Structures are given as C-alpha cells and as structure tokens.
C-alpha cells in the first residue's frame, strides 16, 4: 500500500476527498467551458456523486473521528454509485444497451405547422448519450470511460486509506 495512504490522518483524508472530488467536477466544467464539449444527460448525472462527496468530505473534516470515518465510507459508496453510472454510460456509448434516460434520445418535436414545430424544439440541442467524446486522438477511452476509471480508483484509494487507518488503531 502506498505510504501516503498509510500515513493519512482522518482530517487530511477528508480534505483530500473533497479536493479530489472537486478536481473531477472542475475537469468536467473545464472540458465543457474551454473545450467546447456539450455534456449529455448521463454526463450531467455522473457529476452528482462528486458533489455529494465534496459535501461529505467537508463534513468529515469538521466532525469527530467516528462520524468522520462513517461519512468517508459513505463517500466511498457514492463513488461506487458513480462507477455504476460510468458503466451504464460506457455501455450506452458502445451500443451494448439503450440509455435509461429519456433525455438521451432525440428531442420530440410536435406541432402541425412549421412555427409550432420550431417552438417545441429545445433552445439548446441535447447531445446524444451514445456519441462518445474522446480527448486524446487514437486512445479509445471516452470521457465517460475516463470518469469510470477515475471514480473506481478514487473509491479504491479512499477505501484503502480508511481500511489502513482502522488497522493502525488496533
């Protein structure tokens, strides 16, 4: 196990947890704002576990040790939930199954006249969830795949840190 995982204090682990969740959200917003990428509905849903983990990390940093550990284990569960969302998203991108979200489908335009049809169209076109965005040309890992890897590694490292701190107390 890496030394930084073995030596981390509960407050340090809590702050690092909030920080690394913030980095994930920051990267998503940077790709959207500076990279010009349009997130799909699944991308937007995958951001929620990180928001929750930020809150849990901040709470864990200011609460007593026992409650702090419980909050950080809850953060691990949230990250594993994001892993599940990532698996679903990657499966949708590879066309293994359809998206469970209706927002991922093409918009339904209704109306009898052209003016009514134009009025029923969304102001901003939605990005289909089955069209992956690749950051690095030639590397077949989409942003959803990268998120899946990040969330899984984050959950494993956080669980290892929490497990090692429990073993040190004995």
The CATH number of whichever domain residue 162 belongs to comes to 1.20.1550
What domain count does the chain have?
A: 1
User: Which residue range(s) make up the domain with 132?
Assistant: 3-169
Cβ neighbours for 127, distance < 8 A, ≥ 6 positions apart: 38, 39, 40, 43
The whole-angstrom separation of Cα 141 and Cα 149 is 10
The whole-angstrom separation of Cα 34 and Cα 23 is 15
Question: In terms of pLDDT, which residue wins out, 78 or 117?
Answer: 78
Model confidence band, residue 108 (pLDDT cutoffs 50, 70, 90): low
The whole-angstrom separation of Cα 42 and Cα 127 is 10
Written as six digits, the tokens of 162 are 């929490």
Query: What percentage of the chain carries pLDDT values higher than 70?
Result: 78
CB neighbourhood size of 71 (10 A): 22
CB neighbourhood size of 88 (10 A): 21
**What pTM value is reported for the model?**
0.80
The whole-angstrom separation of Cα 116 and Cα 88 is 35
CB neighbourhood size of 39 (10 A): 19
The mean pLDDT value for 14-39 works out to 90
Q: Which of 24-38, 40-54, 91-105 has the highest mean pLDDT?
A: 40-54
């Amino acid at each position: 196990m890496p030394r930084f995982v073995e030596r981390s204090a509960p407050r340090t682990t809590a702050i690092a947890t909030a920080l690394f969740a913030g980095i994930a959200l920051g990267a998503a917003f940077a790709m959207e704002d500076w990279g010009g990428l349009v997130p799909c509905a699944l991308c937007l849903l995958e951001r929620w576990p990180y928001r929750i983990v930020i809150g849990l990390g901040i709470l864990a940093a200011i609460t007593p040790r026992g409650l702090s550990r419980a909050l950080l284990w809850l953060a691990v569960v949230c990250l594993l939930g994001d892993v599940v969302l990532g698996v679903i998203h990657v499966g949708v991108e590879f066309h293994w199954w359809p998206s469970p979200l209706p927002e991922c489908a093409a918009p339904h335009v209704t109306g009898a006249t052209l003016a009514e049809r134009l009025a029923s169209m969304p102001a901003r076109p939605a990005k289909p969830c089955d069209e992956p965005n690749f950051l690095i040309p030639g590397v077949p890992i989409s942003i959803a795949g990268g998120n899946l890897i990040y969330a899984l590694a984050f959950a494993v490292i956080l669980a290892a840190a929490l497990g090692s701190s429990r073993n040190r107390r004995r």
